[in-house]
Structure 1
Amino acid sequence: MATMRAWQYKTRNEPFESNLSLDTIPRLEAPSTCKSEKDCCILVRVHAVSINPADHKVPLIPVVGYFLNKKPATPGLDYSGVIEAIPPGTPTTLQVGDKVLGRLDWPYQRGTLAEYVLAQPNAIVKLPDSLSFAQGAALGTAAMSGLQPLEKVNIKPGASVFINGGSGGVGSYTLQIAKLLGAAHVTVTCGPANVERMKALGADEVINYREADVLDTLKADAKDKGRFYDIVIENVGAIDSLYEQCHHFMNPAGCFMQVAAPFPLFLIKRTILPGFLGGGKRRFASYLTWNDNADFQRLADWAGEGKLKTEIDSQFAFEDTKEAFERLRGGRCQGKVVVHVVKEGSI
């Protein structure tokens, strides 16, 4: 029987990486035919994986994390690699041997931190020639989470956008994509180490949250400069007063988009309760990434053309995946954390 290596977890202790072990398990195989959407899985030899906060946070959610998938389970949503097998009848124009990048959708048991993955046809596209496997793997969830919220609120050319949490993997993409979609002004928040980096990616204004109170700055800009935002993107996920106070700096017809949403009751408060009971006074929406090949192709094209920069914070060997999660959990990443399942330059 052919085998492969995969990182797996059977327990749910903190920190998440303490649950991981690198195991040798039966190799995944593509189904013999594609009779239904569920059966249409493309076998990919994984070359690189980018990890996301959801990879370690979701399994540890009380109750939900336990029942989300069967154990042992392999974490990882995003990948790049080479196609090894495509079942007859699979709805795709891709071919065996193509270099690809892709993303899995929830729920899943067999994630991407393995030597092979069964890829879903609704989020797998060719890897542009100009991108490395690491750059391709780094698009995935973070880039989709930058594009889709802006599409959901129907961003218009000339829009003004505020991004709370602009320097992480998602925020870096959101900033660039907002500009690609025609935003006239984008303000982001970040720490002092990322101010110049945010400006280089296209930010018109940067609020250093270590030196200035974000809410006070937004209110002052609205009062003194007439700076009101059409779209507010919340990537931080903290329970604070940003939404409750957004009527001071967001246009009446604008939308507050919560990308990072920590608790269901938190969302209920923001979407249902009236302002005098603790709700907000502006339109509120939340977001959860979904797979869409058209969106994925758009992102790959932008990246391949050099219009969308992929920032990689750090890179780790497959055997050092635990250290990769430690880096990600530190919360100070300047871009994406990538794990090389196959060493660059090897077959």
Structure 2
Amino acid sequence: MRRTLPAATMALLLALTSCTTAGPSGAPNSVPDDMPNASRQDAAQAERTMASLRRVDDLPLYEMTYVGAYDPTAGTDATPSSPFGCSLFVAAGDPARPLFARNFDWDANPALVLRTDPPDGYAAISLVDISYLGVGADPTGDRRLLDAPLLPFDGMNERGLAVGLAADDAATVRADPGKPTVGSVRILRLVLDRAATVDEAVAVFSRHNLDFDGGPALHYLLADATGASAVIEFVDGELRVERGTGGWQALTNVPVAGVSEQRRREDHRYGQIAAALSRAGGVLDATAAHRVLASVRQGHTRWSVTYGLRSGEVRLVTATGGGERRYQLPMS
């Protein structure tokens, strides 16, 4: 995990999770805590969503199924305060079993496994740090959870498109006035809702400006059911796409676009992952992938997850050490 950003900067991390919908003063609009601004549900759908919430381990980790529609461009009042670490990789050496894996390295916050199936987008499973919603360790009855679809930190949709993020201190963005601006976590929701392939996901990124103001800049790993993968980075203000080759691709907190593989492997976690994937020829099942994730776990790793990009199987282990949880996303 990289902790190079000053605390004062991190206190302003609102832009990380919100679209730039501004009020008269130019500050992002806010809504009362009891009036979720993402939900486009009727009352019955909202109640069914809240009723589906259940605690499943002592992280604490919760599960919830979102029923009905939401506006993926609505704002939130999240105020996270620490930089991301994270380790991610795609193992696609066996085209019949491509796999996306990630460690989420972060503060000790509650998390949520969220199922969504919007009427105008793809069904997905994603993981959310619900502290970004202002929600505490016991979210029972807290209707701010109805904004949870807006903040996927990683996830996979029914077409086998997966995405995750990590800090990249070197990234910079340059706004195009002809494009809408979206928060740098929110873009994951747009990708999961709208993209079936890596190319389509890259197009979603290309259609938007990303807002890194006030928080850690990010880069992203994408993969799809064909085994294709790509890293999205921002170099000198411009979007760069680094395509995966050789059956695998990895991402930690060092830039990869235009950087030699030898230089990338100087990063300890990247080097560990790259060595394991090279030995395996990019062929790993979920059990083996979790062993690789375990080898690069940090003291602040909150969850380790694998997504089967063709099988729809999700395997999740949290920092509690309480065993593996499995989920199945029906694939289309």
TM over 0.5: no
Q: Which has the larger radius of gyration?
A: 1
- The structure showing larger relative contact order (alpha-carbon pairs under 8 Å, at least 6 residues apart) is 2
Give the TM-score of the pair, scaled to structure 2.
0.23
**Higher helix residue share:** 1
